[in-house]
Amino acid sequence: MTEIRNYTMNFGPQHPAAHGVLRLVLEMDGEVIQRVDPHIGLLHRATEKLAESKPYNQSIGYMDRLDYVSMMCNEHAYVRAIERLLRVEVPIRAQYIRTMFDELTRILNHLLWLGAHALDVGAMTVFLYCFREREDLMDCYEAASGARLHATYYRPGGVYRDLPNQMPKYEPSKWHSQADVDRMNEARQGSLLDFVWDFTNRFPACVDEYETLLTDNRIWKQRTVGIGVVSDERALQLGFTGPMLRGSGVEWDLRKKQPYAAYDQMDFDIPVGKNGDSYDRYLVRIEEMRQSNKIIRQCVNWLREHEGPVVSENHKVTPPGRGDMKGDMESLIHHFKLFTEGYCITAGETYAAVEAPKGEFGVYMISDGANKPYRVKIRAPGFAHLSALDEMSRGHMLADLVAIIGTQDIVFGEIDR
């Protein structure tokens, strides 16, 4: 009789299904996984250490680069920690703008997740459809902040600037005739809010479109139903948050339970799964996109009716207006101090968390009274999720591992930090 032994296999770090730079050392029994040992840290940039070496405001941009598909949610956690330590009040309009952009970000993230997950499992078309809608959302980012991805839009005390009254428009080129451009610019005639409103009108039909491709698709169900099952008890033990936890049937959402920004004013539901498998997590995220759409519409309605400041008037923390600096000595000094030394925060510590699209994204910040944070710890949801990969994929086939990585919504920017 021949001796049968397990063998060790290397997966990644350069692999299209590894969602970045994930290296897995797999112990296989034939095609069945016995053990998974993820090697992470290939994208480690020591964001937390870098943040300790700079004034508070200069690290906002680093937060975008953590989970680089849900940029503004990361900024939100960071600025919330600073605001709490500083005891700065954020104007109500800024709170609504943040709520709106958090939800746009959630859709942005879930679209990338859905496209990539479906692509991993073998459905090509969904990816293309998802990126069509992502393009519009990134245009919203661009109109508000000037950058399509790394926005640095949230600032301690509010947001960088108010929403623009016009959208950037396409221009005719070799590839797009005047007629094409006119059609593409149709929704862009009004303000950003009009464009977002138009998007929310179109978007539910788009979600239906994705669902026709996947929800009742036989292949999709074969690849996701009963794959990576996690019970509610285990999900808590494994530190799951966000859709991963809700997929296992635990009704927990920081937006409802510990509301921040303007979420206490919003009317929305929390979708919860039943079986805790990949398919349930898919359904949860699809429904979250619909709920986000609903929240965005409420925000747009409010923002249309209410004018007001979008950033705190406390010029120790936020820059004074350009015009003021020309004539007012104190404004000039404030500006100079803010951009050279920054501001000092009274010694203390806080943990601020937001419901990021992937789960609870938290920033633990210790201040020792200086102009730089003493310690910043970023609690990334993906880190806890990936650590459960071993438990989730034991006994599954190698091909299911790809589906499990997909369902975890892994992004290495936040895991490796």
| Residues engaged in binding other proteins (CB under 8 A) | 40-41, 44, 46, 48-50, 53-55, 58, 84, 86, 236-239, 241, 250, 252, 257-258, 316, 340-351, 353, 360, 362, 364, 366, 368-372, 374-375, 377, 379, 383-384, 386-388, 391, 416-417
> DSSP assignment, residue 58?
G
φ, ψ of residue 362 to 5 degrees: the values are: -125, 155
The residue among 269 and 391 lying less far from other proteins, judged by its C-beta, is: 391
C-alpha 18/C-alpha 203 separation (Å) is 29
Peptide bond into 13 cis (omega under 30): yes
The b/e string for 176-193 (b: 16+ C-beta within 10 A; e otherwise) is eeeeeeeeeeebbeebbb
The residue among 93 and 372 lying less far from other proteins, judged by its C-beta, is: 372
Q: How far is the CB of 310 from other proteins (least distance, A)?
A: 21
Q: How far is the CB of 81 from other proteins (least distance, A)?
A: 10
Q: How far is the CB of 365 from other proteins (least distance, A)?
A: 11
Q: How far is the CB of 239 from other proteins (least distance, A)?
A: 3
The residue among 151 and 388 lying less far from other proteins, judged by its C-beta, is: 388
Task: Yes or no: say if 63 and 74 are a contact pair by the CB < 8 Å rule.
Answer: yes
Q: How far is the CB of 80 from other proteins (least distance, A)?
A: 11
Beta strands in 175-292 (DSSP E): none
Q: Which amino acid is at 8?
A: T
Q: Strand pairing partners for 348? A: 367
C-alpha 289/C-alpha 127 separation (Å) is 16
171: left (phi over 0), alpha (psi -120 to 50) or beta: beta
The residue among 86 and 207 lying less far from other proteins, judged by its C-beta, is: 86
Tell me the longest C-alpha to C-alpha distance in the chain.
92
The residue among 162 and 409 lying less far from other proteins, judged by its C-beta, is: 409
Closest C-alpha among 133, 140, 130, 131 to residue 188: 140
The residue among 301 and 346 lying less far from other proteins, judged by its C-beta, is: 346
The residue among 81 and 116 lying less far from other proteins, judged by its C-beta, is: 81
C-alpha 309/C-alpha 162 separation (Å) is 8
Q: How far is the CB of 229 from other proteins (least distance, A)?
A: 16
Q: How far is the CB of 347 from other proteins (least distance, A)?
A: 7
Q: Which amino acid is at 89?
A: E
